[in-house]
């Protein structure tokens, strides 16, 4: 084997190894890009879900405040219209048996 053959063999070997390495690198990059897109998509979905849950929480808190106000209002109405405990008959409420 002369020097030219050795150099040619070395270049072919290096080129072959380089091509195989290039193919592996490209495959890894494509897989990484696909994973990155999937993760980004999942992140966007979770952000949207988080926003929806925050909006729902605000709505529920608003409804809770309204119900608390209604409860206070109804309590005041009952207090104004209901007889005091000392005004109730001694035996409790009247019986419905006489009707």
Mean pLDDT value across residues 49-66: 98
The predicted model gives 7-12 an average pLDDT of 79
The torsion region of residue 83 among left (phi > 0), alpha (psi -120 to 50) and beta comes to: beta
pLDDT score for 90: 64
**What average pLDDT does this structure show over 2-27?**
81
Determine if the pTM surpasses 0.85. no
Enumerate residues 6+ apart whose C-beta is below 8 A from 26: none
Per-residue pLDDT reduced to its tens digit, 58-81: 999 999 999 999 999 998 888 777
Please report the pLDDT score of residue 99 as a whole number.
46
């Amino acid at each position: 084997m002369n020097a030219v053959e050795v150099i040619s063999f070395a270049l072919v070997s290096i080129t072959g190894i380089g091509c195989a390495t290039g193919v592996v690198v490209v495959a890894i990059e494509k897989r990484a890009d696909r994973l990155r897109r999937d993760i980004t998509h999942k992140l966007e979905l979770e952000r949207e879900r988080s926003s929806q849950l925050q909006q729902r929480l605000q709505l529920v808190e608003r409804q809770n405040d309204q119900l608390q106000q209604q409860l206070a209002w109804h309590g005041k109405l009952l207090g104004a219209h209901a007889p005091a405990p000392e005004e109730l008959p001694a035996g409790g409420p009247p019986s419905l048996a006489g009707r």
